[in-house]
Amino acid sequence: MVEEIKNGTRRTLNGSLCVYFDGYWIRCYIPPKDTLAERKRLIDNLTRRTFHHTEPGINTPGDRLELARAAHDRETEPKRKRIKAAMLAGALFNRATDIFTSVVDLAERGVTVSQDNELMRECGACFQEALALGKQVKHYSGQEGIDELWGEPFKAFTLPVEKFYESRYIKIAQSMRDIDRVADRLVDLFDNDPSFSGLTALIRTYAGAAKSECETMKSDVDIFDIWANFTASGEAVVEFQPRTVESMSKRRIRRIMEGRTLVREGKELIAYVAGARVPMPKSTQAFLDRCEAYQQAAVRIGDDPATSSLAAR
């Protein structure tokens, strides 16, 4: 019988402590002590990471919150209002971290600030409003919103640190699932195409490296090897050149070039998901739809790679 593994199970695998969630063993880390100082450090790191993976121009300083709100409130054009909502969300995030920094500074000077203190209430309110506006914030690719990532600093403020870490493992498992969905679909499309011989092994290697990058903290000493593998294997996918022969039809060559473009788009999507460490359902489904359209087009025009001039050789 196949062993049923419960979510949250921990084991040491290949020398690393791992936790199991939704079909994936994920490298896990001992959470820091749940102190104000550690929580501040965690929130600061999450806030920087959030701005790194979201659209440019929205990292509004906290001291410009009132200006950002006024600009948002008077805007009527829908696209501009969405962008100003993202800028307002950025200002709210930064105001919340500014307040929390002040609270930690007071605590380090021996001044106790309770959870129901006015400063803590305002900090929580800023985080919560930023979270609500987060649906207006897009990933830096512009493909979709990324509110699951946007909500992480608020979770770190409200949840015990240990619970926050557990919530991250669940998102990482979902991210790994989407990486596998993209990679599996590309393998399905090109595994039997002689023009793309050798590509699927590169895709599998890249997907594995992406999942390793997704689960590994930047503070982990292994990140040097993991990031190098992730980047190098991604470059190998992008640099792959399908093979053609002079006797191929223009239609067949055009299809091969379309396939190469699809592969590069899939590589970029895997990089986005691995970097953000949250699933990107709209982008993933849109890519899978493009893969389906590519396959259906082959059926309509009778493009069978197995009978191409290259296969005959």
Chain centroid, CA 103 distance in Å: 31
Bridge partners (DSSP) listed for residue 18 = 11, 27
152 neighbors 50 (Cβ within 8 angstroms): yes
**Secondary structure of residue 24 in the 3-state scheme:** strand
C-alpha gyration radius of the chain: 23
| Measured distance CA(205)–CA(166) in Å, rounded | 27
Report the DSSP pairing between strands 16-21 and 10-13.
Answer: antiparallel
Identify the CA nearest to 292 among candidates 31, 104, 284.
Answer: 284
Same-domain check for residues 196 and 108:
no
Scan for tokens 């897009």, then name that residue.
Answer: 138
| Measured distance CA(211)–CA(208) in Å, rounded | 5
Element (H, E) at 20: strand 16-21
pLDDT, position 144: 85
| Measured distance CA(24)–CA(22) in Å, rounded | 6
| CA atoms within a 13 Å half-sphere pointing along the CA-CB vector of 57 | 8
| Measured distance CA(172)–CA(24) in Å, rounded | 9
Q: Is residue 8 part of a domain?
A: no
Q: Is residue 26 part of a domain?
A: no
Q: Is residue 163 part of a domain?
A: no
Scan for tokens 């359209």, then name that residue.
Answer: 293
Whole-model pTM: value is 0.88
pLDDT, position 172: 97
pLDDT, position 150: 85
Out of 132, 158, 184, a domain closes at 158
Out of 158, 187, 216, a domain closes at 158
Q: Specify the DSSP class assigned to residue 139.
A: B
Same-domain check for residues 181 and 285:
yes
Chain centroid, CA 201 distance in Å: 23
Angle ∠(175,177,183) on CA atoms, nearest 5: 105
Token digits for 212?
Answer: 């390793």
Token digits for 197?
Answer: 């011989």
Chain centroid, CA 173 distance in Å: 11
Q: Is residue 214 part of a domain?
A: yes
Helix/strand/coil percentages in the chain, nearest 5: 70, 5, 25
CA-to-CA dists, residue 153 to 48, 55, 80, 278, 281, angstroms: 10, 17, 25, 14, 21
Same-domain check for residues 45 and 113:
yes
Full residue range of the structural domain in which residue 45 is found: 36-158
| Measured distance CA(100)–CA(107) in Å, rounded | 11
Q: Is residue 25 part of a domain?
A: no
| Measured distance CA(210)–CA(213) in Å, rounded | 5
Q: Is residue 167 part of a domain?
A: no
Phi, psi angles (nearest 5°) of residue 197: -60, 130
Same-domain check for residues 118 and 209:
no
Q: Is residue 9 part of a domain?
A: no
Same-domain check for residues 192 and 134:
no
pLDDT, position 312: 44
Out of 158, 187, 207, a domain closes at 158
Same-domain check for residues 122 and 181:
no
Instruction: List the pLDDT tens digit at each of the 313 positions of the chain.
Output: 557 899 999 999 989 999 999 999 999 999 999 988 898 899 999 999 999 999 999 999 999 999 999 999 999 999 999 999 999 999 999 999 999 999 888 888 888 877 788 888 999 999 999 999 988 999 999 888 888 888 898 899 889 999 999 999 999 999 999 999 999 999 999 999 999 999 999 999 999 999 999 999 999 999 999 999 999 999 999 999 999 888 888 888 999 999 999 999 999 999 999 999 999 999 999 999 999 999 998 777 666 665 555 654 5
Q: Is residue 45 part of a domain?
A: yes
